[in-house]
Amino acid sequence: MGLGLFGLHGQDSAAQGMHPRFAIYTLGCKANQYDSFAISRELILRGWQPVSFDEPADAYIIDTCTVTSVADRKSRKVIRRAGRAGSNAIVAVTGCAAEWAADKLRQISGVELVVGNRMKNRLADDLCRAYEERPSSNRPTSVGTTAFPPAPADEHPGETAPLIVLTGRARFLLKIQDGCNRRCAFCIVPHVRGKSRSRPVQEVVNEAHELIEQGIREVVLTGIQLGDYGRDLEAGRRSFLHLVENLTAIDGLLRLRVSSMLPQDIDTDLLSVMANSAKVCPHLHIPLQSGSDRILKAMHRGYTAADFLSVIDAARTALPDLGLTTDIMVGFPDESNEDFNATVSVAEQAAFSDMHIFKYSQRPGTEAAQMPEQVEHSIKEQRSDRLFTLSAQLNSVYAETRLEKPADVLLESVSADGRTGVGYTETYLRASVRGTGLHEGELVTILPRQREKDHLIADVLHNPS
C-alpha cells in the first residue's frame, strides 16, 4: 500500500513558489510511515514544500519495501513512475529495497540517489546537496532559492528534529525501536533493518510532548520488533513499562496504543500496566502466523500454539474487553492440510476480532526460499479464502458483543456540518458516529446501535474531552 504525504505544512507556505517542492511515496510497514514523516519534516525545516506525488516536484522520494517479491515489484513500479515524471526531477530511493538491492535500483532510469536504511537520516542532506549542485535552469519548479539551512547541530536528522505543523491528524505512529535480532525463516527484515535499537525513553517522551502540542490525541507505539524495546537500554526490558508510564502521564494525550508484539514479549507486568491505565487501549496485535507447532518450529517463531493461547487467556483475564488482532501466513513451505487445519482451530479458539491474512511469498535471501516442498499457488489461494471468511465471521461475532455497550471513539474525520464522524474505538473497531457539534480529534463516548459491513453505527452519548 502506498502512502502519500498529508497533514504536513511548512512554516512559510505563502512563499511556496520560491521553494523547491518534494513528493514522497511510502510502501510497507508502520515503521516506514514514520521514517517518511521524519524525512519530510527534515526537508520542510530546510525550506522545501511538500506536494502530492501526482504533482510536479523537484524531487520524488520513494520509501521502499522489500518484505516480499510483490513488495519489490511495487517499489520498482513506483520508482519508474517517478522517473518518467520529468527529466529534471531528482528521484531518490530509500527504505528496505534500497538497503538490499541498491545496485539494481541505481540502474532504473532517472534514479539519482539510493540511500539505504542505515543512512536514511542523511537523505535530507543528500537531497539538498544534489539540488544545489544543479543549474537553476534544471530545477523544475523553483526559482531564486537560497542555500538551505543546515540541520541543528544537536539534532539527529530524521529522528528528533522539531515537528512541523500537523493538520488533519488525530492519531500518530511513533517509532520507538528499529531493527530485529530474530531470524524468522521467511523474513528478510533483519538483513535490511539491522540489529534491534531502542530510542531512549526521554527522547520518545519529548517527541510525544511535541505531538500533543501539534494536536495529536492518540499515539501508537510502533517498531520493527516492539517487544525488543529496551533490551539495549540500561533499564532493560522494564524500559518499555517506564516508557508507557511516562507517556500516559502527559496532559493532553487521550489514548496510547501498542502495536504488534510477539506472544513471548507479553507478560503480566505489561498486562497490569495496560489494565490499570485508562489511557492505554485494551487492544493487542499478536501475530500468530501458524497454529501448527511443526510449521512454527520451521519458521523459528519461538513459541507453540499452546504458548500462544496461554498468552491470550492471560490477556483476556487482565483485559476482559480486549480487541485482539493478528497476522496469519498461509502456504509456508511444506504446510499440509493438517497444519492448516491446526491454524484454523487456533484462530477459532483465540476468537480474533480481526485477522490479516498473507500468502507466503518466496523471498530470495531467506532460509524459507530454499526449502523444498513449496506450496502451490492455488492451494495458498484456497487457504487464504477460507481464513478471510473465518475472519469476517469472527469480526462479526466480536462486533455484536460490543452493541449497546458504551465505548470511546477518537474522531479522525468529521463532516462539514459536524453531525457525523468516523474513528476507532479503544478496541480498534471502526465506527461511524452520529451527533451534533462534532470536531476532529475529540474523544467521544458512543453507544453502538448496529453493525454494518465492516464498522459500527453509533450515537454519541457525551464528549469527555
Contact 204, 174 (CB under 8 A): yes
Query: How far is Cα of residue 461 from the mean position of the Cα atoms in its chain?
Result: 31
H or E segment at 465? none
Contact 230, 203 (CB under 8 A): no
> Can you tell me the distance from the alpha carbon of 77 to that of 200, in angstroms, rounded to the nearest whole number?
37
b/e sequence 104-116, b meaning 16+ C-beta within 10 Å: ebeeeebbbbbbb
For 420-451, the pLDDT digits (tens) are 999 999 999 999 999 999 999 999 999 999 99
Taking 90 as the threshold, does the pLDDT of residue 162 lie above it? no
Q: CATH classification of 285-401 is 3.30.750.200, yes or no?
A: yes
pLDDT attached to residue 18 = 67
User: Band of the pLDDT at 453, cuts 50, 70, 90?
Assistant: confident
Share of the chain above pLDDT 70, in %: 88
Question: DSSP 3-state helix, strand, coil percentages of the chain (rounded to 5)?
Answer: 35, 25, 40
In the numeric block, the cell 483475564 is attached to 317
Q: CATH classification of 168-281 is 3.30.750.210, yes or no?
A: yes
Q: Give me the residue spans of the domains in the chain.
A: 2-138, 168-281, 285-401, 407-462
Taking 70 as the threshold, does the pLDDT of residue 139 lie above it? no
Q: CATH classification of 2-138 is 3.40.50.360, yes or no?
A: yes
> Can you tell me the distance from the alpha carbon of 107 to that of 111, in angstroms, rounded to the nearest whole number?
7
Q: CATH classification of 407-462 is 2.40.50.140, yes or no?
A: yes
Domains 2-138 and 285-401 share a fold: no
List own/partner pairs for 212-215 with CB under 8 A and 24 or more apart.
212/250, 212/251, 212/252, 212/253, 213/163, 213/252, 214/163, 214/165, 214/166, 215/166, 215/167, 215/169, 215/170, 215/441
pLDDT attached to residue 9 = 43
For 261-320, the pLDDT digits (tens) are 999 999 999 999 999 999 999 999 999 999 999 999 999 999 999 999 999 999 999 999
Reference 74, options 64, 83, 82; nearest CA is: 64
In the numeric block, the cell 519508474 is attached to 80
